[in-house]
């Protein structure tokens, strides 16, 4: 289950490690199918969850098996949660009147997805859409990199970019803004006052031709030095920060 994407999808569940991610999953109402432990939990946090009825089942495992599931080389964790994956339904995302959505086009790295979710949570996005052939939101590296933010904002996988675009076009006044090193306009010269979908391309090839043609505007992030482009997550984070800066009463 931990490493096999097909098995995660077939079972409709994934593993969550760590105090903050498990606590965030529970706090945000995600369905916890099981809490796994080795019978050695001593912290008040772990004991409260084991005895608190927050999971459908509480299962004791041999310590070496729990450690193997945790991918840790040292200590056996007190708890691992088995959490149900929510449906990939775009209607899980509720876009506020001046809301922000991030579209990740064919991301390769699960760690980048998790880091983007963390940035999106920090900057108050309404949701994240993962389109095309992409890394898995529920890959252990993505879950770990999100530091619990996976559970705070809706993240939806959509295989067809056409479906994602059709849904985005139903949102009143929403502007699709793509990030591209070839864009003419600098990011700080663009008006982000209205509802916005920020489209960020693949780490290697950038936005697909579909998204490049579908965006209402494109912007570039000015750089100095010899780097040719930003990491996709960094580019998205910079764009989200610029939106927040423009909307701040004291920019």
Query: Predicted confidence band at 47 (pLDDT cuts at 50, 70, 90)?
Result: very high
**Secondary structure of residue 5 in the 3-state scheme:** helix
Are 45 and 128 contained in the same domain?
Answer: no
Are 42 and 65 contained in the same domain?
Answer: yes
DSSP conformational letter for 28: T
Are 136 and 164 contained in the same domain?
Answer: yes
CA proximity to 247, closest of 171, 185, 191: 191
pLDDT of residue 251: 57
Q: Is the pLDDT of residue 73 over 60?
A: no
pLDDT of residue 91: 93
Are 30 and 84 spatial neighbours (Cβ–Cβ below 8 Å)? Answer: yes
pLDDT of residue 2: 55
> How many domains are contained in the chain?
2
Are 98 and 212 contained in the same domain?
Answer: yes
Q: Please, is 239 exposed, middle or buried when counting C-beta atoms within 10 Å of its C-beta (0-12, 13-18, 19+)?
A: buried
Are 128 and 164 spatial neighbours (Cβ–Cβ below 8 Å)? Answer: no
DSSP conformational letter for 181: T
Buried b (16+ CB within 10 A) or exposed e, 125-154: bbbbbbbbebbbbbbbbbbbbbbbbbbbbb
Phi-psi label, residue 173: left if phi above 0, alpha if psi -120 to 50, beta otherwise:
left
Q: Can you give the CATH number for the domain in which 191 is found?
A: 3.40.1280.10
Q: Is the pLDDT of residue 1 over 60?
A: no
Q: For residue 100, what are its two tokens? A: 């922000």
**β pairing state of 32-37 and 80-84:** antiparallel
Which residue, of 84, 111, 144, is where some domain finishes? Answer: 84
Q: Could you give the CA distance from residue 223 to residue 202 in angstroms, rounded to a whole number?
A: 19
Residues 80-98: tens digit of each pLDDT:
999 999 999 999 999 999 9
Pairwise pLDDT comparison (123 vs 11), residue with the higher score = 123
Q: Is the pLDDT of residue 238 over 60?
A: yes
Are 40 and 148 contained in the same domain?
Answer: no
Are 46 and 102 contained in the same domain?
Answer: no
- Which range among 8-22, 156-170, 198-212, 220-234 has the greatest average pLDDT? 156-170
Q: Is the pLDDT of residue 228 over 70?
A: no
Map tokens 């663009």 to a residue: 190
Residues 118-138: tens digit of each pLDDT:
999 999 999 999 999 899 999
Query: Predicted confidence band at 23 (pLDDT cuts at 50, 70, 90)?
Result: very high
Which residue, of 32, 66, 84, is where some domain finishes? Answer: 84
Are 42 and 101 contained in the same domain?
Answer: no
Q: Is the pLDDT of residue 74 over 70?
A: no
Q: Could you give the CA distance from residue 77 to residue 66 in angstroms, rounded to a whole number?
A: 7
pLDDT of residue 76: 78
Are 53 and 115 contained in the same domain?
Answer: no
Are 49 and 22 spatial neighbours (Cβ–Cβ below 8 Å)? Answer: yes
Q: How many CA atoms lie within 13 A of 228 on its CB side?
A: 5
Beta bridge partners of 100: 196
Q: What are the percentages of helix, strand and coil residues in the chain, rounded to 5?
A: 35, 20, 45
pLDDT of residue 193: 92
pLDDT of residue 175: 97
Are 68 and 100 contained in the same domain?
Answer: no
- Domain span at 24: 5-84
Q: Is the pLDDT of residue 44 over 60?
A: yes
- Give mean pLDDT, residues 22-43: 93
Are 102 and 66 contained in the same domain?
Answer: no
Q: Say which residues have a Cβ less than 8 Å from residue 38's Cβ, sequence separation at least 6.
A: 60, 61, 62, 63, 66, 76, 78
Q: For residue 55, what are its two tokens? A: 């999971």
Are 75 and 105 contained in the same domain?
Answer: no
Q: Can you give the CATH number for the domain in which 22 is found?
A: 3.30.1330.30
- Give mean pLDDT, residues 146-165: 95
Which residue, of 51, 84, 117, is where some domain finishes? Answer: 84
Are 14 and 98 contained in the same domain?
Answer: no
Q: For residue 153, what are its two tokens? A: 């904002």
Q: Is the pLDDT of residue 227 over 60?
A: yes
pTM reported for the whole predicted model: 0.91
Query: Predicted confidence band at 165 (pLDDT cuts at 50, 70, 90)?
Result: very high
């Amino acid at each position: 289950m931990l490493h096999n994407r097909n098995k995660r999808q077939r079972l409709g569940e994934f593993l969550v490690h760590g105090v903050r991610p498990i606590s965030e999953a529970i706090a945000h109402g995600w369905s916890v199918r099981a809490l796994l432990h080795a019978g050695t939990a001593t912290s008040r946090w772990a004991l409260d969850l084991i005895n608190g009825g927050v999971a459908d089942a509480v299962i004791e495992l041999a310590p070496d098996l729990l450690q193997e599931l945790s991918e840790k080389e040292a200590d056996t964790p007190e708890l691992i949660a088995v959490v149900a994956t929510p449906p990939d339904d775009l209607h899980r995302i509720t876009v506020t009147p001046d809301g922000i959505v991030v579209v990740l086009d064919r991301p390769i790295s699960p760690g980048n997805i998790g880091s983007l979710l963390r940035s999106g949570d920090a900057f108050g996005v309404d949701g994240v859409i993962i389109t095309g052939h992409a890394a898995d939101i529920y890959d252990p590296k993505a879950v770990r990199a999100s530091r619990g933010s996976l559970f705070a904002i809706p993240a939806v996988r959509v295989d067809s970019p056409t479906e994602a675009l059709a849904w985005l076009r139903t949102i009143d006044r929403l502007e699709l803004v793509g990030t591209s090193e070839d864009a003419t306009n600098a990011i700080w010269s663009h008006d982000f006052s209205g509802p916005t979908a920020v489209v960020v391309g693949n780490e290697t090839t950038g936005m697909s031709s579909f998204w490049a043609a579908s965006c209402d505007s494109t912007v570039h992030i000015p750089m100095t030095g010899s780097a040719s482009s930003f990491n996709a997550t960094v580019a998205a984070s910079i764009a989200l920060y610029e939106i927040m800066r423009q909307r701040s009463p004291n920019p």
